[in-house]
Amino acid sequence: MIKPKPLIAEVIRIHEKEPSRYYKVRLDRSERTRPFSDEFISRIRARLDSEWLNTYPEPEPVYEKCAAFLGQPRGRILFNSGSDQSIKSIFETYIEADDTILMHRPGYAMFPVYAKMFGAEAIYQDFDSDLDFDYEGYINRIDSNLRMAVLENPNGFIGVAPPEELLREFVRKCEATGVICVVDEAYFFFHDITAADMIQTHENLIVVRTFSKAMGLAGLRAGYLLSQEENINSLYKVKPMHELNGIALLLIDELLDHTEEIFSFTKETRYCLQYLKDKFAELGIETSKSVANFLAARFGAHFSGEQMSLKLRDKGVLLRRPFREEHLRQWTRIGTAPVEKLDAVLEMSKELLLASH
């Protein structure tokens, strides 16, 4: 057996061996659960011919179109194969062994994975058992002893976002102390408050985004970084030969020509999120103050969240298990979907509430 490097040997990754998730009500991973319009799919089929399969990808036209859509100069954008590759490129470019990185928990799993892979020390601040987070305390921990600090805007497990002024104070504090500032905005367009408008004046800021959430293209594994052009040029050095495949570029190009597919979906999602919050409130079930396309519900205060997930799976509705952190185990994350698909969750909640009394 070939032994890996010691740092890699210490990394723990869980093998996913789940049954197929296709053609089910997928409330477990915050994906788009409303289909794209038939017109959009027809346009994709009309454009897709052998040339897109036979030719190496040509991303520049899509870069230009994406820059115009975002209102950013072309030089501030770098595509990557999903947020995973974007985050890894930050570590490859800037992080060395024994660097210290400030993170929050829960948070996107690949940040601590890459920290371990690159020999960095991760220090954490946790959300409390009521899903509150001390943003001011988090900002106060930023000093020149750190190499990097990470903030999700909003958090990818709980859905809450920092108040706008504290988001901006986080960026300013990183800049003042010489700390790399990474703001993960995977759920941008559901939540429109962004750090991206600070890029021009803050040279340490890197914003991470994805095409998987509000854009609805989770199957493509596509994302992008936003930062000052000099930083993008440094990050470009570690990118793969081709940052996106041709099919991903085709679909992103088409979507940027028909942005009503994005904004009609985000509008519906906001309605469905509020519907879910209101219905859980009627049942006496506490939920997080999410601004994304999911929320966390405190099932564990009334019944087993694990039981809820298992019962819904039998009905073709996929739900995450409760959070792994002991102090958060009462909470379960639930994605939004069209209202008629959410009713199965609400009916099961009523059933389990009755059984618990």
CB 150, CB 103: distance < 8 Å: yes
CB 102, CB 120: distance < 8 Å: no
- Residues 84 and 277: their CA atoms lie apart, in Å, by 30
Percent of the chain with pLDDT over 90: 94
Q: What is the pLDDT of residue 9?
A: 85
Q: What is the pLDDT of residues 182-236, one digit of tens each?
A: 999 999 999 999 999 999 999 999 999 999 999 999 999 999 999 999 999 999 9
CB 229, CB 152: distance < 8 Å: no
Q: How far is CA 127 from the centre of its chain?
A: 17
- Residues 71 and 192: their CA atoms lie apart, in Å, by 14
Q: Position of tokens 């008629």? A: 340
Residue 13 has pLDDT above 90, yes or no: no
Q: Position of tokens 């919050």? A: 277
- Residues 323 and 328: their CA atoms lie apart, in Å, by 6
Omega cis (within 30) before 154: yes
Q: Give the contacts of 259 (CB within 8 A, at least 6 positions apart).
A: 69
Residue 17 has pLDDT above 80, yes or no: no
Q: Work out the average pLDDT over 51-77.
A: 97
Amino acid symbol at 254: E
Q: Position of tokens 């904004």? A: 263
Q: State the average pLDDT for the chain.
A: 96
For residue 150, the SS3 value is: strand
Residue 173 has pLDDT above 80, yes or no: yes
Q: What is the pLDDT of residue 122?
A: 98
Domains, the chain, ranges and CATH? 6-34+261-356 (3.90.1150.10), 38-257 (3.40.640.10)
